[in-house]
Amino acid sequence: MLKRLSAILATTVLAAPLAIGLARASETEELAPFRMIRSLQYVQDSVVLGDHSAIEMQRFMLGEIDKRLRAADEAIFRDPRNVDAALVYVMSGGNPETLDYLTDRDVEGNFDARVTDALRQYLRGKGPLIVENLANAAPEYRNSRVGPYLFLILGNATSQQDPVAAMKYYDWARLTAPGTIIEEAALRRSVSLAAEAGDPDKGFRYALNYARRYLTSPYASQFADVFVELAVTHFDEAVEKRVAEILAFMDQARQREVYLRVARRAAIAGNQTLARLASSRAEELARDGGGQSQLLANFYDGLAAVPSEDVFTAVQTLAAIPDAKLSPRDRALREAARAIADEVVRLPKDESPAQASMPIPEVDIGPANAGSETGETGSGMSPFAKAEATTPIAEPPAGAQAAASDPALDGFVANGRSKIKEIDALLAEEGL
Residues 95, 128 within the same domain: no
For 142-157, write each residue's pLDDT tens digit: 889 999 999 999 999 9
186 within some domain: yes
| The domain boundary residue, chosen from 111, 140, 167 | 111
**For the chain, how many structural domains are there in total?**
2
179 within some domain: yes
Mean pLDDT of the chain: 73
Residues 80, 39 within the same domain: yes
Task: Look up the domain containing 201 and give its range.
Answer: 115-213
163 within some domain: yes
The band of 295, judged by pLDDT with boundaries at 50, 70 and 90, is low
Closest to 297 (Cα-Cα) out of 305, 286, 307, 310: 286
Residues 119, 209 within the same domain: yes
Residues 167, 122 within the same domain: yes
Residues 87, 129 within the same domain: no
User: What pLDDT sits at residue 43?
Assistant: 95
Residues 169, 205 within the same domain: yes
Instruction: Please state which of the ranges 21-30, 116-125, 214-223, 280-289 shows the lowest mean pLDDT.
Output: 21-30
For 107-123, write each residue's pLDDT tens digit: 999 999 999 999 999 99
Query: Which own/partner pairs from 361-366 qualify as long-range (CB within 8 Å, at least 24 positions apart)?
Result: 361/393, 361/394, 361/396, 361/397, 363/393, 363/394, 365/393
Residues 102, 119 within the same domain: no
Residues 6+ apart with CB under 8 A from 232: 262, 265, 266, 269, 271, 274
Ramachandran class of 318: left when φ > 0, alpha when ψ lies in -120 to 50, beta otherwise = alpha
36 within some domain: yes
Residues 106, 191 within the same domain: no
Residues 41, 84 within the same domain: yes
For 412-422, write each residue's pLDDT tens digit: 445 555 655 55
CB atoms within 10 A of CB 109: 7
The pTM is what?
0.65
313 within some domain: no
Residue 106 pLDDT > 60, yes or no?
yes
228 within some domain: no
Instruction: Please state which of the ranges 64-78, 163-177, 404-418 shows the lowest mean pLDDT.
Output: 404-418
Instruction: Please state which of the ranges 301-305, 341-345, 364-368, 378-382 shows the lowest mean pLDDT.
Output: 378-382
User: What pLDDT sits at residue 240?
Assistant: 84
4 within some domain: no
User: What pLDDT sits at residue 236?
Assistant: 81
CATH number (domain holding residue 144): 1.25.40.10
Residue 22 pLDDT > 80, yes or no?
no
Residue 79 pLDDT > 90, yes or no?
yes
User: What pLDDT sits at residue 174?
Assistant: 95
Calculated CA dihedral for residues 143, 148, 151, 156, nearest 10 degrees: 180
206 within some domain: yes
User: What pLDDT sits at residue 349?
Assistant: 53
Residues 129, 53 within the same domain: no
| The domain boundary residue, chosen from 213, 241, 271 | 213
Q: Provide the 3-class DSSP secondary structure of residue 214.
A: coil
Residues 143, 172 within the same domain: yes
Query: Which own/partner pairs from 405-410 qualify as long-range (CB within 8 Å, at least 24 positions apart)?
Result: 406/352, 406/354, 406/355, 407/352, 407/354, 408/349, 408/352, 408/353, 408/354, 409/352
Measured on CA atoms in the order 257, 263, 264, 265, is the torsion positive or negative?
Answer: positive
Residues 151, 208 within the same domain: yes
Residue 59 pLDDT > 70, yes or no?
yes
| The domain boundary residue, chosen from 74, 90, 111 | 111
